[in-house]
Amino acid sequence: GAGVSQSPSNKVTEKGKDVELRCDPISGHTALYWYRQSLGQGLEFLIYFQGNSAPDKSGLPSDRFSAERTGGSVSTLTIQRTQQEDSAVYLCASGDRANTGELFFGEGSRLTVL
């Protein structure tokens, strides 16, 4: 597609369950970012990929969070044993090889943990 695609757009889960969020970046974009946006908060950086490697994982909140990217394209963010404080909108963005800072964002996956 033409833009960054994220799925699911909405996810409601019970506390303790695992969830997977998917991001399909713009074709040819080598940089891929995950951010978290909580109500009333800014964008919290989670992880950044250049190709398939992640030079910066510093934002992952705990070891319950992990992310991978395969084939330099699709990325999956996995949250294990979800907690209520994980409820947020998870945003994915991609950027081109030059990584100028111009990112193209998806519309996000809204996660609600009951």
Q: How far is the CB of 81 from another protein (least distance, A)?
A: 27
Q: Which residues pair with 21 in a beta bridge?
A: 77
Q: How far is the CB of 102 from another protein (least distance, A)?
A: 5
Q: Which residues pair with 35 in a beta bridge?
A: 45, 91
Interacting residue ranges for another protein, rule: CB under 8 A: 3-4, 31, 33, 35, 41-43, 45, 48, 50, 55-56, 58, 91, 93, 95, 99-108
Q: How far is the CB of 19 from another protein (least distance, A)?
A: 20
Q: Determine the Cα–Cα distance for residues 53 and 16; give it in Å rounded to an integer.
A: 29
Q: Which CB, 59 or 74, lies closer to another protein?
A: 59
Q: How far is the CB of 18 from another protein (least distance, A)?
A: 26
Q: Which CB, 16 or 55, lies closer to another protein?
A: 55
Q: Determine the Cα–Cα distance for residues 26 and 28; give it in Å rounded to an integer.
A: 6
HEC string of 52-78 equals CEEEECCCCCCCCEEEEECCCCCEEEE
Contact 34, 23 (CB under 8 A): yes
Q: Which CB, 47 or 82, lies closer to another protein?
A: 47
How far is C-alpha 90 from the chain's CA centre? 6
Q: Which CB, 31 or 88, lies closer to another protein?
A: 31
